[in-house]
Amino acid sequence: MSNLAAVVMAGGLGTRMKSAVPKHLHPLLGKRVVDWVLDAARESGAERVVVVASPDTRDAYDGQEVEVAVQVQPRGTGDAVASAQPALQGFDGDVLVLDAAAPLLTSELLREFVEEHRNGGADVTILSIEPDQPLPYGRIIRAEDGSVREIVEERDASPEQTAVRELNSSIYVFDANALRDALGKLDARNAQGELYLTDTIAHIVGAGGSAQAWRSPDSLSPIGINNRAELAQAAAELRDRINEAHMLAGVTIVDPKTTWIDAGVELETDVVVHPFTVLRGRTSAASGAEIGPHAVAVDATIGQRVSIGPFCYLRPGTVLDPDAKAGTFVEIKNSRIGAGTKIPHLSYIGDADIGDGTNIAAGNITANFPHTPGEPKGRTTIGSNVRTGIHNGFVAPVEVGDDAWIAAGSVITKDVPPGALGVARARQENKEGYARRQSDD
C-alpha cells in the first residue's frame, strides 16, 4: 500500500500494569506487545514506521526496521504524535496512527481500514468500535449528516455524550498535511491537562476538512491493554489464533485451550501436540513428531517422528534428530541427540553430543560444570550404539566411543574406548550378620 507511513505511540509508562516494565514491552507469545503492532503496521503496507518512545525506552528498538522519535515528557497522545513529525518532515501521504499496546491488531484489518479512508476521501478516518460492554474510551460525536464532528474523551463528556455507544479505538488514518496543521492548534485545556490527539478531529473539521469513522467489523482487535488481566486476555486470543493457523495447516493440537505456542514456532504437517504443552521461541518440529503432554520446548529443533514427553523439558540449543526419543522427566540443554537415540526417562543431558542408535538408561546425568571458574563448560561426547546403565554420571570433558557399554552406577571421568565396558564404582562388599549385631547392641 503505497505512500503510507505509520506512527506507533509507545511513549506511555503503563502505570496500571504496576510494573517497572512499560506495558508495550511486556512479553506476549514470543514477542513484546509492541512487536505485534509493528508487524501489523509493516504487513499492512506502511513504507515507514516511526515509533514514539520515551527517553528511557528508545534503545528498546535497536536493530529493528523502525525510526525512533522521542517524546521527552508524557504530555498526552497529541504530543506523542507531534514528537514524530520531525521524522516525517516532507512526507506527503497518509499517516496511520497506532497504539503500541494493541497487540490484537491484524494487517488485514489495517489494510481494509486504510482502503476505507482513501475511498471516503476524508482528511481523517477514525477506527471506531461498538463493544458489548462499555469501555472508558472517547465517544464519537457525529453531525446530523452522519459525518464525525468531534471525539469527546469520557472524562470530559456530558451524560448525553457518555451514552453514545460508538467509541474511539485510538487508531486513525490522517492526511499528513491536515494532521500537521491540526497538531499545531492543540492545547491542554481539559480534565487531564494533556494534549489530546482526539482534539485534532474538531480542528480539522473547523478548518473546513472532513472526518469520518469506520466501524471495525471486529470490536476486539483494536482494543489496547492496560493491566495484567487484559494482557492475559490478549494472550488467550493470540493463542487461539496461532493454534488455529497451525491446525488449518495440518498440525494436530489435541486440546488448543491448554496448548501455548509462540508466534515464531514452526510446525510441519502431521505433528501432534498433546495437552498442556508449551512451545516457545524458535522451536521447530518436523513431520510426524509427537510432543507432550506436559512438555516444554524452548528454541529446540525436533526432527521427524521424534517422541517427546510427558513432562519433558527441551532447553535452548537442543537438537533431536529423526526418530529420537526424549521421554518422561527428561531435560536436555544445548545438546544434539542422534537419530533413533532414546533417552526414555529421568535424565539430564546438557552440553553433549550423542550419536545414532544409542540408549541412555534411567537416571543419567552429564556433569558439565567447568573445573576452573571462568572456563567454558566441557562437553560430553557419547558415540553411536552405546548402552549406558542406570544412574550413570559423565564428568565432562569425556568421550565414550561407539558400541561401548557403561556399567550401572558408574561415574565416568575418563574416556571409554569403542566397544569397551566402562566401570567406575566401588566394589560391593557384604557384611555378614550386620543386622543381628546392631540389634544385640
For 110-169, the pLDDT digits (tens) are 999 999 999 999 999 999 999 888 788 889 999 888 889 888 888 888 898 888 999 999
Residue whose C-alpha cell reads 485510538 in the numeric block = 170
Identify the burial level of 104 via C-beta atoms within 10 angstroms of its C-beta, where 0-12 means exposed, 13-18 middle and 19 or more buried. buried
**Which of residues 296 and 149 earns the better pLDDT score?**
296
Compute CA distances 98 → 40, 216, 244, whole Å.
10, 14, 26
Residue indicated by cell numbers 526496521: 65
Q: Name 377's Cβ contacts closer than 8 Å, sequence gap at least 6.
A: 350, 351, 368, 369, 370, 396
**0.85 exceeded by pTM:** yes
Write out the three cell numbers for 253: 493440537
Length of the chain, please?
441
In a 13 Å sphere around the CA of 132, the CA atoms on its Cβ side amount to 2
Beta bridge partners of 172: 97, 126
- Tell me which residue of 360, 409, 410 sits closest to 383, measured CA to CA: 360
Query: Tens digit of pLDDT for each residue in 324-353?
Result: 999 999 999 999 999 999 999 999 999 999
Q: Is the peptide bond before 376 cis (omega within 30 degrees of 0)?
A: no
What residue spans of 58-198 are helical by DSSP H?
77-83, 107-120, 159-162, 176-183
9-30 average pLDDT score: 90
Using a pLDDT cut of 90, give the percent of the chain over it: 81
Superfamily classification of domain 4-215 = Spore Coat Polysaccharide Biosynthesis Protein SpsA; Chain A (3.90.550.10)
Strand order in the sheet with 260-261: 260-261, 278-280, 296-298, 313-314, 331-333, 348-350, 365-367, 393-395, 411-412
Q: What does 355-395 look like in DSSP terms, one character per residue?
A: -TT-B--TT-EEE---SSTTSPPP-EEE-TT-B--TT-EEE
CA-CA distance, 84 to 101, in Å (whole number)?
17
User: Comparing C-alpha atoms, which of 101, 64, 67, 103 is closest to residue 84?
Assistant: 67
pLDDT at 372 over 90: no
Q: Which segments of the chain belong to CATH 2.160.10.10?
A: 228-422
pLDDT at 60: 95
C-alpha closest to that of 234 among 77, 32, 21 = 32
The model's confidence at residue 292, banded by pLDDT at 50, 70 and 90, is: very high
Mean pLDDT, residues 371-377 taken together: 73
With beta carbons less than 8 A apart as the criterion, state whether 197 and 77 touch. yes
Omega prior to 134 cis, within 30 of 0 = no
pLDDT of amino acid 441: 66
* C-alpha–C-alpha distance, residues 47 and 138, integer Å: 29
**Pick the residue with more confidence: 143 or 398?**
398
What are the residue numbers of the active site?
345
pLDDT over 90 at 364, yes or no: yes
Q: In angstroms, rounded to a whole number, what is the distance separating the alpha carbons of residues 359 and 388?
A: 7
Domain 228-422 class? Answer: mainly beta
Q: Where in the chain is the domain with CATH 3.90.550.10?
A: 4-215
User: Which tens digits make up the pLDDT trace of 46-98?
Assistant: 999 999 999 999 999 999 999 999 999 888 999 999 999 999 999 999 999 99
Contact 358, 341 (CB under 8 A): yes
Q: Are 394 and 367 in contact (CB under 8 A)?
A: yes
Arithmetic mean of pLDDT, 431-438:
87
> Is 99's pLDDT higher than 90?
yes
The pLDDT of 316-321, averaged and rounded, is 98
- In angstroms, rounded to a whole number, what is the distance separating the alpha carbons of residues 250 and 397? 42
Question: Does residue 1 have a pLDDT over 60?
Answer: no
- 354 strand-pairing partners: 337, 382
217: confidence class by pLDDT, cuts 50, 70, 90: very high
Strands (E), 11-47: 27-28, 31-32
> For position 147, what pLDDT does the model report?
86
> At residue 427, does pLDDT exceed 80?
yes
Q: Supply the pLDDT for residue 437.
A: 84
Q: What rounded mean pLDDT belongs to the chain? A: 94
